[in-house]
Structure 1
C-alpha cells in the first residue's frame, strides 16, 4: 500500500525513518517544563499543546497531559482525525509559521514513560522461540505443550515495573536451584536475559463480561512499541512449574519512549505463516493479520540478532481476542507483549537463552565469548517496517543497561 502524500516541510525529515508516514507519539520534557505530549517528525519533536491551542481544537487539553492516556481514551475516530490534522500541518508550507516555533530538537528533550500502564500481559506467540525454549528446558520431551497450537499462551505481568527506555535495570535476586543441588539457594540471578518483543498499547476500553473479537483489534489498539521483557532464567526455571513465570519476569520490562500508531503500519500487514490445526472460531483471522517488522538486537553496540516479526505464529488480533474471551475487560493503557520474537535461523533468535542455547554454546561479542548478561551490559532493540509512503519507517528504540544486584 503506497499513500500519495505531499512531502513534509520539516528539514531533514523527508526520506528518514521518521518521515510524514510515521508520526509516533511520546511524552517529553524540555527546559524543566512540565511533561507533555509530542509527536516525532525526523529529528524534531512537535510540541502539540501550543499548536492545538492556537487552532482552538476541542481536544487540545489532551496534549497538555503528562501521559498519552487521555489521547488513547478518545478512540479510533479521534486518532484518525488527529493524524489527518498533523499530516496537513506538517506538509502544508503555509503552516510553517504556526508549527515552526513548536518544533524542539530531539537531542534537547528527555523522554518520559509514554503512557500509564493499566494491566500488562505477555504472550508466547513465536513458534520458533517456543520450540527452542522447549528443547532447552525439556530436552527429553516434546518441545511444545499440547495446547500451544490451539491458543496464544500468556501470563499476567506486573504493570508497575514497566519502565521507559533508558532506565537502568537492577539485576534481580531470588531463589534458584543449581543442577544436582539438593535444594535452592538465594542470590543475584546469574542467568539474566533479554527478550525482543513488540508491545501493543490499548486505547479504547471494553466492558467487563464482553469480548473483543479479532475484527475489533484496530478499534481498541492504538499502536505499537518496542518492548524488552527482561528475564532471570535461573529464577524462572525453578519457579515456573506449575504456575508459570513470576519473579523471574516481574522485576522490569522496558518499552520505547515512542508509540507508533497502527495507521503508520498500514503497509506492513502480511499473512500469518500458517496455523495447523485451524484455530477455534473466535481466533480465526483472514489475510494480512501479521506484521512485516524487522527487529535488531544490539548488545554493547554490536548487532547479535535480527528477529523477524513476520514469522510469528499468533497474530496480535488473536492475542487480544483470547485475552478477552473469558469476559476480561480492557482498560485504557493496557499493554500486551507478543512474547519473544524469533525466526527459524540461529541469527534470528530474540533472546540470549536461545543465542547461547541455554548457556552451552557461547556467542562472540567484541571478541569475547558471551552467554547471559553481565553487569554494565547495554541492550538496545531497534525495528523498521514498510511505510505507507513506499519507504521504511522506524519504531522508537528501547535501551537498558544492567545494574549490579
Structure 2
C-alpha cells in the first residue's frame, strides 16, 4: 500500500506492487548491507586524518548512522510538502564533505567544522528551491569533474589508513592486498546479495584474518554501552569562520548535484519525470542533514548511488522497504558498542576497503564525464583545467602554504577548486558567450 497521502501532493513514484511484511523487512536489511560500509567510512577517514582517538571516532560513527537513518526516513516518507522526495532512496554520509571538513578542522578547530556545517545546511535549505530550477548550470561536465576529484583526492587518505606511519610491507600489505582481491572476486563472480555486499563481506573476513595475525584490538568494545544517544556539540560551541562557511556551502552545492543525478536515475527507473518541487524537497532534506549533523557531530548526507543501483537491479521500489532501512540505521546509531567495533577495525582492512570505494567514486565521475560532448564549446578545456587545478592540492599542497587561511580553504581544496573552475568556465563558455562550432573550436 502506498504511503503517499492527499491527491494535492505530487503523485507517487512507486510502480511496484505492495510487498508482504517479511519481504519488506528483507529488502530493508539489504539496503543497509549495501550502503553500510560506505556510510561508516566517512567518520573513519575524517577521524583518522585529524588524529582523533578511537572512542571519539566511535561516537562519530554512531551519530553518522543515526542522522543517515533519520534522513532516509524523511526521503522515503516525506514531511508534508516541506522535506523529502517520497521516493525509494537511501541517504548516507557524503565523501564530498570529508576533505573540506579536514581542512577546516586543521585550520580553525573541530568546533568550526560543525559551525560551518550548520551554516551550510541552512544555506542548502534556503537554496533548494532555486537550485531545483537551475540544474542546467550543473551539467555532467561539472558533476563528473567534481565526483572524479572526490575519489582521487581521498585515495591518499585510504593509503594512510592502511599503513599509518609505517612503511608499506609485511602483514599489513599482504592483508590489504588480500582484501582488495577478495572484493574484486566477489564483485566479478558473485551474484545477487553476495556481489552487492562484497565490500561488507571483505570487511568481515579481513577483520577475522587480522585477528588471526594479532592486528586487532577490540578491548574498548567491552566497556561501551549497549544504548546511548550521541552527544550534541561534542567539540564545544560551534564557531563560524567565513572561509569555512563558504567552503562548506560549495560542498553543499556539489552534494545537491550528486543527489540530483541519482534522483533523476531513480525517477527514470520508476517511469516518471522528476518534478522540480519533488527535487526541491529532496535537496532540502540534504540541507537538513547538515544542520542535524552539525548539532549531533555527524556529516552531511546525500543520496547513495549503491542503493539506487539496488532498486534498479532488484526492481523493488518499495518506499516501505527504504523506511525499514532508515529505522535500522537509527537503531544501529543508538548502540555505542557498534560504533566502537567500527572505530577499532584494523587499519589495513578499513584502509584497503576505503581505497576500493574511493577508486569507485572516481570511476563513477569518469563515467559521468564520458557523457560530455567534447566536440564543441571547449568542453575538453573546461574539464582539463578543472581537473588540473583540482589536483594541485593533492600532488603539491605546499603551493598554497603562503596564502591566507581563508583563501587556502576555499581555493586550495581539491574538490572546491575543481567545482569553482568547472562551474565558472562552463558558465562563461556555454551560457554567457555564443557557442562555437566544432570547426571553430579546432581552428
Same fold at TM > 0.5: no
The structure showing larger relative contact order (alpha-carbon pairs under 8 Å, at least 6 residues apart) is 2
Place the TM-score, normalised by the shorter chain, in its bin: under 0.3
- TM-score after normalising by structure 1: 0.23
Q: Which has the higher strand share?
A: 1
Q: Which has the higher helix share?
A: 2
